[in-house]
Copies of this chain bind each other. A is one copy, B any other.
Amino acid sequence: MTKTIQTAVVGVTGYAGAELARLLLNHPRLEGKPPVFAGRVEGKDLERGGIPLTEIHPHLEDNDGANQLKMEPFSWDLLSARGVDVLFLATPHEQSRAWVPEALDRGMSVIDLSAAWRLTDPAHRAIYAFSDEGTAQAAAIQAQAVYGMPEIYRKQIAGARLVANPGCYATTVILALRPLVAAGIVDLERGIVADAKSGVSGAGKAPTAKTHFMYAADSLSAYAAFTHRHTGELIEQIGVSSEEIVFTPHLLPIPRGILATNYVHFKEPQTRESVAAVYREFFAGSPMVRLYEKSLPQIQYSVRTNYADIGFQLDRSGKRAIVVSCLDNLLKGASGQAVQNLNVIEGWPESEGLQ
A contacts, CB < 8 Å to B: 15, 58-59, 61-64, 189-191, 193, 195, 197, 200-201, 205, 207-209, 211-223, 225-226, 243, 246, 248, 250, 252-255, 257, 259, 261, 263, 265, 290, 296, 298-301, 303-305, 307, 313-317, 319-320, 322, 324, 326, 355
What is the CA–CA distance of A261 and B355 in the complex, to the nearest angstrom? 35
- Chain B neighbourhood of A62, CB < 8 A: 305, 307, 355
- Chain B neighbourhood of A215, CB < 8 A: 213, 300
CB nearest neighbor in B for A247: B322
Known A190-B191, A223-B296, A296-B223: A255·B301 in contact at CB below 8 Å: no
**Interface residue from B225, B243, B252, B305 paired with A313 (Cβ < 8 Å):** B225
Query: What copy number does this chain have within its complex?
Result: 4
Beta-carbon contact of A214 and B252 below 8 Å? no
- Chain B neighbourhood of A218, CB < 8 A: 218, 254-255, 257, 299-300, 303
Beta-carbon contact of A299 and B208 below 8 Å? no
- Chain B neighbourhood of A315, CB < 8 A: 226, 246
What is the CA–CA distance of A219 and B319 in the complex, to the nearest angstrom? 29
**Interface residue from B64, B212, B261, B313 paired with A213 (Cβ < 8 Å):** B212
- Chain B neighbourhood of A222, CB < 8 A: 259, 261, 296, 322, 324
Beta-carbon contact of A214 and B214 below 8 Å? no
- Chain B neighbourhood of A290, CB < 8 A: 61
What is the CA–CA distance of A62 and B248 in the complex, to the nearest angstrom? 27
What is the CA–CA distance of A63 and B254 in the complex, to the nearest angstrom? 24
Known A61-B290, A62-B355: A212·B212 in contact at CB below 8 Å: yes
The 7 closest A-B pairs by CB, nearest first: A207-B207, A219-B300, A225-B313, A221-B298, A195-B195, A200-B213, A213-B216
What is the CA–CA distance of A351 and B58 in the complex, to the nearest angstrom? 19
Beta-carbon contact of B205 and A214 below 8 Å? yes
Beta-carbon contact of B250 and A219 below 8 Å? no
CB nearest neighbor in B for A203: B213
Beta-carbon contact of B213 and A255 below 8 Å? yes
Q: What are 7 sample pairs from A and B whose C-beta atoms fall under 8 A apart? A: A59-B300, A61-B290, A62-B305, A190-B191, A219-B298, A221-B300, A250-B261
What is the CA–CA distance of A322 and B305 in the complex, to the nearest angstrom? 32
What is the CA–CA distance of A158 and B301 in the complex, to the nearest angstrom? 37
**Interface residue from B190, B197, B263, B316 paired with A220 (Cβ < 8 Å):** B197
What is the CA–CA distance of A64 and B298 in the complex, to the nearest angstrom? 20
Beta-carbon contact of B296 and A257 below 8 Å? no
